[in-house]
Structures are given as structure tokens and as C-alpha cells.
Chain A
């Protein structure tokens, strides 16, 4: 293994760490805002399920990232290009973290890798079908989350509408949120850790450390899950505030419905090998829960701010990665 390869793997794991750090809010915002768990207990809970996700899900998403964004046959994904892509994604994550915006680390990664590859060899090296699949689910994942969040909320309301013991019901859903938060963290770990695995697999293939047809080595799987879990343990409180209370105020029932809806969406997409944004998915689900009451329960100003951040993520990370790749070429 060359020094460059080791550096890229370390940077990829650092990206995974920032992903956990950035997206910790998604897993635990509702649990914290409904006071089911203290912030400290919530991050430990989420990090545990982030880590054990590797026991449940395969590595289809990793293969999509490694082989369906930039054509592996073009041999453009060198150590330098992957490095530029990762720096682009991390740079974008840090900018949006500073601004307190819940953007997608996943799409930052896709944008970064595409930006580095396009500067290195031109747009023909991008895999159109793979990017189209990712682009379609950029839009679909929040829509699926929203519909499931709304349907689950209405189903729960219908099931319990005759219940008079509201306090008891709330207590039940507070406990239920432990399960739904765990399920969401499992989905988050599965989908997001696999993106880092995909980057490491791509660079290992580029460095001829593994064959292009081989699967993800076990040490890569364990390292990626450990990095995202450690990132979650570090937490990101600015975004917790945006997700948990600024979009719509949630009761335990709403938190349970939102997390369950998002978890179902993530389980499905992970099983299909589709890299989606956990941030998009949970935001859609929270809006779905809010709109079960009335649309005015949703703070559309914040929601639209989030949508703008989504729209800008791929071009933003693409541009940073392109500048880094250009800079490295000039230095050479």
C-alpha cells in the first residue's frame, strides 16, 4: 500500500466520521426534542445501531458508489482524483454544518467524485445510468418518507382515536421511539457507511490492491461502520435544533411515525443498492407527520431553505472537488 493510498483511506474514513457527525441529528433529533432520551444517551444509542448495521445489510450501495458514478473501466479514479472528490465533499459538509443546514453528505460525495473525475478526464467518464438512478432517488426518497410519515401518522390516529388515556399513550410512544430511532440509525449506518466503503473499494481497485470484481473487504466494512459510529458519538447540535423543532414541533407519536417512515425508506433503498440521503428522507418524513395535522404546522420557510441546500449540494461539492483537482494538476 502506498502512502497516497493510505492517506485517501484515512480521508475517506474522516469523511465518514463527518457524515456521522453531520447526520447524527437525523437519527436523534426527534428522540431528543421529545425528551425520550437525554442528548448523551441518544448519541450512544444511535452510534451503537450505526455500527451493528453491517450485520444486517449487504454492500450493494458500496458497489453502486464504486462502480456506478465514474466508469471503473476508464481508470480515471486514481488516488488523486478520489482525494479531490473527498475534499470537495468534506468541504461542502463543513460549510453547510457551519450554516446549520441539513444537507446531504451522500450527494456531496457523489458530486465531489464526479467533479474530480470530470476535471481529470472529461464528462464522458461519468456513468449516466448510475447517476440517473441516484438523481431519481434524490427526489423520490423525501417523497417516499413524506407519504409514509403521513400514512403512519393517520393510521396511528385512527387506531387510537378512542383512547382517553393520552398520557399513557404518550408514554407508550416514547418507548416506541427507542425502537424507531434504533431502526433509523440502523438504516443510516447501512446506507451512509456503505458510501465510504464504495470510495475505499474504488481506490483499492484503482491501486490494484483488489480485483475489480471482488467485494468489499471485511476490514473496510468494519472501519467504515466504526468511523460513522464515532462521528455520531461526536454529534452535531446545530442541526439537531433545525431538524427537531424548526421544521415542525413533534410529539412522541410524531417522532415515532417520522423515524419509522424514514427507516422503512432506508431499508428499502439499501436493499436495492441505492445511495440516498438520510437527511432528505427524515426531513420528508417529518414534513409528512406535520402535514397530517395541517400544512400550516410545517414551517415552509425552513423547509424551503433546506430544499435550496439540497439543490446546491451536488454542484457545490462538484465545484470544490474540481478546484482541488485543478490545483493538484497545476502543482504537478
Chain B
């Protein structure tokens, strides 16, 4: 079965990034940190999936 975690996390990163300009300037760092975190999670998930396929 396909692992679609990376896609989900990329979508979450995009949503968080869209919220940066809409945020209160004092709190704009929160969606920024969330976006970066989801980008990292997407990259790690993609690497994990590739690694599993390679081992198979």
C-alpha cells in the first residue's frame, strides 16, 4: 500500500505557510515554525518510504 504521509505533510506545510501573512505579527513565527516542521516531516517521510522500497 502507498504511504501518502509525505503528501499530507506537504499539504500541512502549505496551509501553515498561507497562514503566516494572516497572523498577528507578534505570533507570525508560530505558523512559520509549523510550516518548516511539516516540510522536515515530509522530507523524512519520503526518505523513509524510499528506504523501505530499497530494502524490499
Which residues, 23 to 40 on B, are CB-close (under 8 Å) to A? 23-24, 27, 30-31, 34, 37-38
- In the assembled complex, the CB of A282 is this many whole angstroms from the nearest CB of chain B, namely 17
Pairwise interchain contact A147-B15, C-beta atoms closer than 8 A: no
A132 with B22, Cβ < 8 A, contacts A143-B12, A295-B8 known: yes
Query: Does A294 have its Cβ within 8 Å of any Cβ on chain B?
Result: yes
Pairwise interchain contact A136-B3, C-beta atoms closer than 8 A: no
Query: Does A40 have its Cβ within 8 Å of any Cβ on chain B?
Result: no
Pairwise interchain contact A144-B4, C-beta atoms closer than 8 A: no
List 25 interface pairs A-B (beta carbons < 8 Å), by A numbering: A132-B22, A132-B23, A132-B24, A133-B23, A133-B24, A133-B27, A135-B22, A136-B19, A136-B22, A136-B23, A139-B15, A139-B19, A140-B16, A140-B31, A143-B38, A144-B30, A147-B37, A274-B27, A291-B5, A291-B8, A294-B1, A294-B3, A294-B5, A295-B4, A296-B1
Cα distance A151–B36 in the bound complex, in angstroms? 14
Neighbouring B residues of A144 by C-beta, 8 Å: 30, 34
Query: Does A129 have its Cβ within 8 Å of any Cβ on chain B?
Result: yes
Neighbour of A295 across the interface among B5, B15, B22, CB < 8 A: B5
The prevalent SS among residues of B at the interface is helix
Closest to A144 in B: B34
The prevalent SS among residues of A at the interface is helix
Pairwise interchain contact A140-B19, C-beta atoms closer than 8 A: yes
Neighbouring B residues of A133 by C-beta, 8 Å: 23-24, 27
Chain A interface residues toward B at CB < 8 A:
129, 132-133, 135-136, 139-140, 143-144, 146-147, 150-151, 272, 274, 291, 294-296
Pairwise interchain contact B16-A143, C-beta atoms closer than 8 A: yes
Closest to A148 in B: B37
Pairwise interchain contact A295-B16, C-beta atoms closer than 8 A: no
Neighbouring A residues of B5 by C-beta, 8 Å: 291, 294-295
- In the assembled complex, the CB of A147 is this many whole angstroms from the nearest CB of chain B, namely 5
Given contacts A133-B23, A136-B24, A144-B34, 18 further A-B contacts (CB under 8 A): A132-B23, A133-B27, A136-B23, A136-B31, A139-B19, A143-B15, A143-B16, A147-B12, A147-B34, A147-B37, A147-B38, A147-B41, A150-B41, A151-B41, A294-B3, A295-B3, A295-B4, A295-B5
- In the assembled complex, the CB of A179 is this many whole angstroms from the nearest CB of chain B, namely 25
A140 with B1, Cβ < 8 A, contacts A133-B24, A147-B38 known: no
Cα distance A144–B15 in the bound complex, in angstroms? 12
Closest to A292 in B: B5
- In the assembled complex, the CB of B1 is this many whole angstroms from the nearest CB of chain A, namely 6
Pairwise interchain contact B24-A129, C-beta atoms closer than 8 A: yes
Neighbouring B residues of A296 by C-beta, 8 Å: 1
